Chains A and B, each alone.
Chain A
Amino acid sequence: MTVDTQNEDSRAMRFEVLKGALKDGVAARVGRLAFARRLPIDTPNFIGMTSRGTVPHVTPDNLGKHLQTTGAYMALEDFIERPQRYSKRTPPIYGTPTTSKHNTRLHSFTGMPQSTTTVLSARRIPAVSSPMGNTNDSISVFTSTGFQALTLKEYLSAVEALDPDVAIPLADLTNKGIAPNSKRALRMAERTDEWVVEWFASLSESTTTASSTTATFAPILPVSYPMQWEYISRLAEDYLPTGQLSGLAVYDPDLLPDLAEHAPALLPLPRLSLSNPPTPHHILRQIALGIDIFTLPFLNTISDAGLALSFTFPPTPSTLTPASTSTPTPTSASTSLEPTPGPQPLAIDLSNPAHATSLAPLTPGCTCYACTAHHRAYVHHLLSAREMLGWTLLQVHNHAVMASFFAGVRAALARGCGERGRFAEAARQFALAYEPDFPEGVSERPRARGYQYRSVGGGEVKRNKAAWGKLEGEVGEGTTRG
């Protein structure tokens, strides 16, 4: 089955479902999402989470060379700060010239490889909740210089200027982490509905003049279906037939069964999860619910915490019965890494001194750059010496583990999507093979002082201890004058 969401010359997105159980409503499926001039994304899959236009700690050359990630999620709030002394300036990104190598302003400004599919949204995931709240024509966003209003108009012109492959229209979200009451939920749906109408009206105007290739993935709100049924019906009835709607940006994948029941016309569209799943167990569940593409904020967090992902899909026999050969010799009882019966950890903590002399790859069998050119002892040393390269290598490894996890998922799905298929079977094994949560890394975080971590509610403990006297950091480096 093929959905050509747009006619060929105006839109360049194609999404094909290669294998799936469409007739039975939502379920796991295998597909391929492709944009002109970008590498196709085989689904289910994930895209990289950027911070200020970059996958944290990974320069664009390493991104192209060592990450298999072919998509990048970007938040407009990372680009539109207003420095106090230059509060009137136009965000520089809007004026970026494009080049033969970077054919959109978004690629050009960030140096993102041309082959990477870009997804633009207004806010990061997870978004910092704003004390100001949204208005009828704007949402509150959090930039490096503080909270500011982003109007629908400005967002629309940003999309036009930056020309992302996918844009997610504004949604009226609370970002509070708790469900809104029904009155607020209803207003969320009403506002989002109005904004989406204005969005498509504005886009159809601009496409008559400019040749925009941006595909719209409409937000599906994290409120119950009855609260947003009118909005969802409009998507299905008004914008799907015109070809203006190309995909869904799903904030709560548990709504997918309702969607299948009430708006089956939307089912062929690609579904992007913005729900911040905390573990691979949650990812598997969402895949079963029919999510095609994931944004995974935990990857960056895990790397910052000094953790190396250590799971595979399907779980390999050795993870079910751990071999002691792959485990470094413990240096003391308290840091023992002796294999224990039962579920295996989802990640190993490389700041653990037990890895200090281990020449083993970060996880057995991993073929990423970090695992083939380096070893645990080096990453452990880098974390302990607080050298930035440690986080770079962990990002490379963790993205590679995630990429092969999804490759495993697709392979299993190809051999059976149903309840008794290969995927469902392997997912059950995965749940038994691995612990439910990530271990908490003890390593010191790199960017804990950055604005991204600003505590809005307060009460956060200081995470990194003070540097030791004169010996650490800038002063400790010294030259070799002999």
Chain B
Amino acid sequence: MQVTRARASILTLPHGTVNLPIFMPVATQASLKGLTPEQLEATGCRLCLNNTYHLGLKPGQEVLDAVGGAHKLQGWNRNILTDSGGFQMVSLLKLANITEEGVRFLSPHDGSPMLLTPEHSMSLQNSIGSDIMMQLDDVLVTTSPDKARMREAMERSVRWLDRCIAAHKKPDTQNLFCIIQGGLDLDMRRECCREMLARDTPGIAIGGLSGGEAKDDFCKVVSTCTEMLPDLKPRYVMGIGYPEDLIVSVALGADMFDCVWPTRTARFGNAITKHGVLNMKREMYAADFGPIEDGCGCPCCRPTEEEGAMGITRAFVHHNAAKETVAAHLLTLHNVWYQLNLMRGAREAVIEDRYPAFVKEFFGNLYPDRNDYPLWAVNALKEVGVDLLEI
């Protein structure tokens, strides 16, 4: 009997194959926060994100074309996924507004009015040369009470997908993913799924889950969508990065995730571990000569006698947190490794048919007391046949 909807699969992309499920670190401006592409590759990363909005500003489309795309720019020979640029305009620029034509906003350079259309987004992403590109969608926070506007956004996203497909110049070397919208309205999500599936893109994203919604609602949306999606296409839940969210979303049948949280929190001195997030700036770590996380296989933590081990201690990270960039680099390395390794473990568990046990162990490590298990996770996992509270 199959318990949970977790899947292990292999995604073949222009710059090599990728094992799913996967967490994709976000190299916003064609750089992963101080790590060299070589260091990133050594964590096992085979697919990372670049942000279209940022690359459109710097270095700009002209430079991207002259250099020959983002892979060439950053010396990264593995895969890249880019967003459409739309979300960042809407979330970063208060003055953005959306019309049928596209997203209107004021240029951060000179304040002049600009317009991001589906065609322009495709053109930018073609210049970037990402292996996976995202359609421009009409993003609305899921918690918006305006049903009519939500429907408009969903339907417009479908129309914009058609314009993206028409404008996409390199369909044989770049994969365009659609994005399912529809807020928290499950019927609207289903309707959107049907429309998007009819366009037959190589992959499917579930969008609009901004983190503002209740986790129960988040899980229902993911679950509703994955139920309808074909087995042979990757499913990408956008903007998700907390370990619990990853583990539950995998159980619900999702394959791909991205989030800036692991790298951003590293710069604030935080280490992600299986027992939770530890802030290395706290005085209690000043003379703690253990690794950042016991048992971690990253180059900072792995036992010193092993090849490539640096022998980094919590004390050293504490010593330099917020003082030297190296501390941030080391924590970034550890956190990225943690996230990728979590997904590697999930994949192995799925392959060996023991994902439920993996999930239980994960939550057991995170919460010493069962009573602290988040209810949303307990409920969502119960829906797919895993009872977290069962002894």
Chain A contacts to B: CB under 8 angstroms = 51-54, 56-62, 79, 83, 85-86, 89, 92-93, 95-97, 99-102, 108-111, 144, 356-357, 359, 369, 373-375, 377-378, 380-382, 384-385, 387-393, 446-447, 450-451, 468-471, 474-482
Indicate if the CB atoms of A357 and B63 lie closer than 8 Å: yes
Indicate if the CB atoms of A381 and B30 lie closer than 8 Å: yes
- The residue in B137, B261, B325, B326 that gathers the most chain A C-beta atoms within 10 A of its C-beta is B326
Task: Report the stretch among B67-75, B189-197, B369-377 that lies at the interface.
Answer: B67-75
* With contact pairs A54-B326, A357-B67, A378-B74 given, residues A59 and B310 touching in the complex (Cβ less than 8 Å): yes
Indicate if the CB atoms of A480 and B83 lie closer than 8 Å: yes
**Does chain A have a CB within 8 A of B248?**
no
* With contact pairs A381-B58, A381-B59, A481-B239 given, residues A62 and B39 touching in the complex (Cβ less than 8 Å): yes
Bound CA–CA A102/B316 (angstroms) = 14
Indicate if the CB atoms of A359 and B134 lie closer than 8 Å: no
**Does chain A have a CB within 8 A of B139?**
yes
Which of chain B's residues have a CB closer than 8 A to the CB of A85?
Answer: 283
Residue of B nearest to A396 (CB): B36
**Does chain A have a CB within 8 A of B13?**
no
Q: How far is the CB of A261 from chain B (nearest CB, A)?
A: 44
Task: Return the contact of B311 from the options A86, A102, A373, A450 (Cβ within 8 A).
Answer: A102
Indicate if the CB atoms of B311 and A447 lie closer than 8 Å: no
Can you give 16 contacting A-B residue pairs, CB < 8 Å? Answer: A53-B319, A59-B333, A101-B311, A108-B313, A109-B315, A110-B316, A356-B59, A356-B66, A357-B63, A381-B29, A387-B34, A389-B33, A390-B31, A478-B92, A479-B26, A482-B86
**Does chain A have a CB within 8 A of B384?**
no
Indicate if the CB atoms of B36 and A369 lie closer than 8 Å: yes
Residue of B nearest to A471 (CB): B108
Indicate if the CB atoms of B134 and A482 lie closer than 8 Å: yes
Which of chain B's residues have a CB closer than 8 A to the CB of A92?
Answer: 286-287, 315, 318-319
Indicate if the CB atoms of A86 and B283 lie closer than 8 Å: yes
Indicate if the CB atoms of B239 and A59 lie closer than 8 Å: no
Chain B contacts to A: CB under 8 angstroms = 26, 28-39, 49, 51, 53-54, 57-59, 63, 66-67, 72-75, 83-84, 86-88, 91-94, 108, 134, 137, 139, 179, 205, 207-211, 238-239, 241, 258-261, 264, 283, 286-287, 289, 299, 304-305, 308-313, 315-316, 318-320, 323-326, 328-330, 333
Indicate if the CB atoms of A382 and B31 lie closer than 8 Å: yes
Which of chain B's residues have a CB closer than 8 A to the CB of A474?
Answer: 264
What would 12 more interface pairs be, CB under 8 Å, given A109-B319, A478-B51? A61-B39, A61-B308, A92-B287, A92-B319, A99-B311, A108-B313, A144-B323, A356-B59, A377-B59, A446-B325, A474-B264, A478-B28
Indicate if the CB atoms of A111 and B59 lie closer than 8 Å: no
Which of chain B's residues have a CB closer than 8 A to the CB of A369?
Answer: 36, 38
Indicate if the CB atoms of B326 and A56 lie closer than 8 Å: yes
Indicate if the CB atoms of A61 and B299 lie closer than 8 Å: yes
Indicate if the CB atoms of B26 and A471 lie closer than 8 Å: no
Indicate if the CB atoms of A477 and B264 lie closer than 8 Å: yes
Kindly list the 9 A-B residue pairs having the minimum CB-CB distance in the complex, ordered from nearest: A482-B207, A481-B239, A480-B83, A388-B34, A92-B287, A357-B66, A101-B304, A387-B31, A482-B238
Bound CA–CA A99/B313 (angstroms) = 12
Which of chain A's residues have a CB closer than 8 A to the CB of B209?
Answer: 481
Indicate if the CB atoms of A482 and B311 lie closer than 8 Å: no
Indicate if the CB atoms of A56 and B58 lie closer than 8 Å: no
Bound CA–CA A207/B374 (angstroms) = 59
Indicate if the CB atoms of A100 and B305 lie closer than 8 Å: yes
Bound CA–CA A101/B308 (angstroms) = 11
Bound CA–CA A419/B299 (angstroms) = 50
Indicate if the CB atoms of B36 and A392 lie closer than 8 Å: yes
Which of chain B's residues have a CB closer than 8 A to the CB of A144?
Answer: 323
Indicate if the CB atoms of B208 and A481 lie closer than 8 Å: yes
* With contact pairs A378-B74, A385-B29, A481-B87 given, residues A54 and B311 touching in the complex (Cβ less than 8 Å): no
Residue of A nearest to B267 (CB): A474
Indicate if the CB atoms of A450 and B239 lie closer than 8 Å: no
Bound CA–CA A109/B66 (angstroms) = 45
Residue of B nearest to A62 (CB): B36
Bound CA–CA A52/B327 (angstroms) = 11
Bound CA–CA A474/B260 (angstroms) = 10
Residue of A nearest to B206 (CB): A482
Bound CA–CA A111/B301 (angstroms) = 11
Task: Return the contact of A57 from the options B34, B304, B323 (Cβ within 8 A).
Answer: B34
* With contact pairs A53-B316, A101-B305, A110-B316 given, residues A59 and B63 touching in the complex (Cβ less than 8 Å): no
Indicate if the CB atoms of B39 and A111 lie closer than 8 Å: no
Task: Return the contact of B28 from the options A57, A86, A391, A477 (Cβ within 8 A).
Answer: A477
Task: Return the contact of B54 from the options A60, A111, A476 (Cβ within 8 A).
Answer: A476
Indicate if the CB atoms of B75 and A111 lie closer than 8 Å: no
* With contact pairs A356-B63, A357-B67, A384-B59 given, residues A389 and B31 touching in the complex (Cβ less than 8 Å): yes
Indicate if the CB atoms of B324 and A385 lie closer than 8 Å: no
Which of chain B's residues have a CB closer than 8 A to the CB of A57?
Answer: 34, 325-326, 329
Task: Return the contact of A450 from the options B299, B304, B323 (Cβ within 8 A).
Answer: B323
Indicate if the CB atoms of A381 and B63 lie closer than 8 Å: yes
Which of chain B's residues have a CB closer than 8 A to the CB of A468?
Answer: 108
Bound CA–CA A95/B287 (angstroms) = 7
Residue of B nearest to A357 (CB): B66
Indicate if the CB atoms of A378 and B75 lie closer than 8 Å: yes
Which of chain B's residues have a CB closer than 8 A to the CB of A97?
Answer: 289
Bound CA–CA A381/B69 (angstroms) = 13
Which of chain B's residues have a CB closer than 8 A to the CB of A384?
Answer: 58-59
Indicate if the CB atoms of A100 and B316 lie closer than 8 Å: no
Q: How far is the CB of B359 from chain A (nearest CB, A)?
A: 24
Bound CA–CA A246/B330 (angstroms) = 36
